[in-house]
A and B are shown apart, each in its own frame.
Chain A
Amino acid sequence: MTRTAKTPEEALGPRAQSLKWRVLRTRWRRQEPIWNNSFAYLAVTVMVAGLTVLLWIPRHLFEAVNIALLYLLPVLFSAVRWGLYPAFYAAVLGVLAFDYFFIPPIFSYSVSDLRYLVSFAVFLVVATLTAGLASSLQRQTREAQRRERITASLYGLSRQIAMVQNLHDVGQAIVHHVGQTFGVPVAMVLPDAEGRLVETSQTDSPPLGRPLNPSVLQWVYRHGTAVGYGGKHRPELLYMPLKTEDTVHGVLCLGEYGLDQPFSPEQRQIIESLCGLAAVSVARVTYETQARIAALTAESERLRTALLDSLSHELRTPVTAIMGAIGSLSDDQIPLSTEDQGELVSTIRDSVMRMNRLITNLLGMVRLESGLLRLNRRPCDVSDMIGVVVHQMRETLGSRPLSISVPDNLPPLVVDEVLLEQALVNVLSNAVKYSPNHSPIHISAIASHCSLRIEIRDFGMGIDREDKEKIFEKFYRSAKAQNVPGTGLGLAICQGIAQAHGGRVTATPASPQGTIFALELPWNPPPYEGEAP
């Protein structure tokens, strides 16, 4: 088997060796190495020396015990300030100075009274214990502060991305937050549909100085291991994998070589936590999107079947009627009375009108669904609009008693006149379809201070409680309406048009019989995204 885990240096070839790309350990070294903190040891030395000088002058006033106690001060101080090892060093240095300068014989490490050896031992023990306690206390404080910073940072980020639904916004939020926290350029790279890594989001200021290294990106993405560039323990440029349990979702790149802003181990820890959270968020959004697409596909599959069923039936019926009528009319063998001919011609006309209605509704549905609907809103006169609808429907309405009551002096309603008329035509033809011939229909407009309500009441078969909402769903046909031809599109379109205007259509049973359809529209509609210029 070939080695898959090539390091970035190997992946980049020998030329890249000089570049300081380094695979970073996942566990950060928390404590700096002892020898690294030379300043602390120097300071301890200076402190002990200073203390010795200070004590040397009034040395006759002090007992040896007092002096020994005072030598604990540098130990305590360095334990709090620099940690355990400088404190030990201070203790040892303190004992040596104490012995050399203050224990007779002076200026010698030899001890005249052996009891002093016990004192040294006690001093060392006390110093060590104090140093240990003080430094661990201090470490805990620092740890707590560090945790608090990480938590605050994570909380800030999680609050920003909790509500975001699409990948782009998540990317922007993460990049923005990380960039703001560390004051460095940040870029997030996510795979596209074909699995290629594409830079999704980046901070706009300051921009990443150089293009991201694609080989390193690929390597980090494939192995899920962080890579840094710069000093060994303080890299200036980080490529962090966005990794949940077993999947790498992308790469977060931050920093820029040459800005002299290396990341401290603590910062790297925060970055790692943030990357974890970012990975979870990216995963969440990705899975949500996939789930939504799956649900949509299933829904559109169902709709397509319903559409095909409904279309084949609704189109074939009038076509059959037309073909039959034309066959009879054009056949010389069949003697037809003028009356019969008229009957056949009106059959053709009715069928064609039915097909035309179906086409209008289908087109309306397609436009509503595809988001191509453009509202061309203008102030319209409500009574005029109802007049136009009734005029359009005059043949369907025939001789039905129709009453229209619209209050005088209604303010103009700002709507797309043509669309709203289509909605009203649909409701009205619905009322005609589901009520007996010659039964009356009432149209009335009722104005309240925030909305206008147009009611269309018929005296037909009424509506069941469970159908009240469902009849506005696409292709839904009520069980009791099965023998009335229809596609189940008209009311769905109505609802779509009403909603585009910030309103809605409702159906309620009327007493003693019939249905009231109410189209409710706000006088001041909220803006609609598909507004025509």
Chain B
Amino acid sequence: MTILIIDDEPQIRRVLRVMLQAQGYQTVEAATGADGLVFAFTAAPDCILLDISLPDLKGIDVLQSIRRQSDVPVIILTIHEEEQQKVRALDLGADDYVTKPFGARELMARIRVALRHRANTPSPSIVQVGPVTMDFERRMVERHGEAVRLTPIEYDLLRELASNLGRVLTHRHLLQQVWGDTTDATDAHYLRIYIGHLRKKIEDDPARPQLIITEPGVGYRMTEPE
């Protein structure tokens, strides 16, 4: 597995290289967006880590150029305050993002999820997340072995989140997938209400959600509880 790192800071590249090689990945490094684009098409990476604020090309432009020709997973490296940039990158086809400063565990989890998602393995019909078991073939959801009654929209929402386990899904993505294209993509209010209902039904403590995590200003992510 080869991972391309596009970041202008040598220190970050070094840390990423050590981290990734320790996990058994091979790494290719690029310090500029232009180099990054060359390697993206010549080194055939399995995943790309892209710093969104590069000195030469804008990270967003690099992402767009990659997406025009390739389906390779791209994970954006960004900073905390730029949630609009995160949403934009995700809408333009980035798979996920990590916020600087990030921990090794978080980054590895994102890479694994992105690689798994692109592997195009048919999503399993039974998904188990923490105490919740979802059987999408039989449209059954159980929590601690007890059946949970969900409305059709809650079920669709849960299904979308669970089949993208570990990935962040933007408000717009969820609205389009669950409500269809007719919904006004900016109206995240419905989504918020249904997520709240869903949490009450599947979370142990809805006030401190462990399964459906809010990514402020971006969207939601379903994860394994810690």
Contacts and interface: CB of A to CB of B under 8 A. Distances in A.
Interface string A408-430: 00001000011001000000000
Interface stretch (A33-41, A238-246, A380-388, A451-459): A380-388
A418 B81 contact: yes
Contacts of B83: 376, 418
Contacts of A378: 188, 217
Contacts of B209: 387, 391
Contact of A360 (B80, B192, B217): B80
B152 interface: no
B208 A412 contact: no
Contacts of A384: 192, 195-196, 214
A380 B189 CA distance: 8
Given A388-B216, A417-B217, A418-B216, A381 B192 contact: yes
Contacts of B101: 352, 356
B84 A376 contact: yes
B213 interface: yes
Interface string B152-187: 000000000000000000000000000000000000
A390 B80 CA distance: 17
A262 to B, nearest CB: 63
A379 interface: yes
Nearest to A443: B207
A406 B207 contact: yes
Nearest to A405: B207
A381 B209 CA distance: 13
A345 to B, nearest CB: 12
B131 interface: no
Contact of B207 (A352, A387, A394): A387
Nearest to B220: A384
B217 A381 contact: no
A360 B80 CA distance: 9
B84 A391 contact: no
B45 interface: no
B216 A383 contact: no
Interface string B187-207: 011001101100000000011
* Dominant secondary structure at the A interface: helix
A133 interface: no
B195 A391 contact: no
A407 to B, nearest CB: 11
A68 interface: no
A315 interface: no
Contacts, number: 56
B217 A387 contact: no
Interface string A365-398: 0000000000010111101111110110010000
A412 B192 contact: yes
A285 interface: no
Contacts of A421: 216
Nearest to B206: A383
A308 B226 CA distance: 40
Contacts of A376: 83-84, 217
Contacts of A417: 216-217
Contacts of A418: 80-81, 83, 216-217
A404 interface: yes
A352 B102 CA distance: 11
A383 B192 contact: no
A376 B83 CA distance: 10
Contacts of A406: 207
Contacts of B226: 394
A383 B196 contact: yes
A361 B214 CA distance: 22
Contacts of A356: 101
A148 to B, nearest CB: 62
Contacts of A383: 196, 206-207
Contact of B208 (A379, A380, A391): A391
A406 B195 CA distance: 16
B105 to A, nearest CB: 12
Nearest to B82: A418
Nearest to A353: B101
Nearest to A388: B214
Q: Which of B83, B216, B217 has the most CB atoms of chain A within a 10 A radius of its CB?
A: B216
Contacts of B195: 381, 384
A406 B209 CA distance: 14
A352 B100 CA distance: 12
Nearest to A406: B207
Q: Which of B192, B209, B214, B226 has the most CB atoms of chain A within a 10 A radius of its CB?
A: B214
A386 B196 CA distance: 13
B173 to A, nearest CB: 17
17 contacts: A356-B101, A376-B83, A376-B84, A378-B188, A381-B195, A381-B196, A384-B195, A384-B214, A385-B214, A387-B206, A388-B213, A388-B214, A390-B207, A390-B208, A394-B226, A404-B207, A417-B217
Given A381-B193, A402-B208, 7 more contacts: A360-B80, A376-B83, A378-B217, A379-B192, A384-B192, A390-B207, A391-B208
By Cβ-Cβ distance, the 3 closest A-B pairs, closest first, are: A404-B207, A381-B192, A388-B214
Interface of A: 352, 356, 360, 363, 376, 378-381, 383-388, 390-391, 394, 402, 404, 406, 412, 417-418, 421
Interface of B: 80-81, 83-84, 101, 188-189, 192-193, 195-196, 206-209, 213-214, 216-217, 226
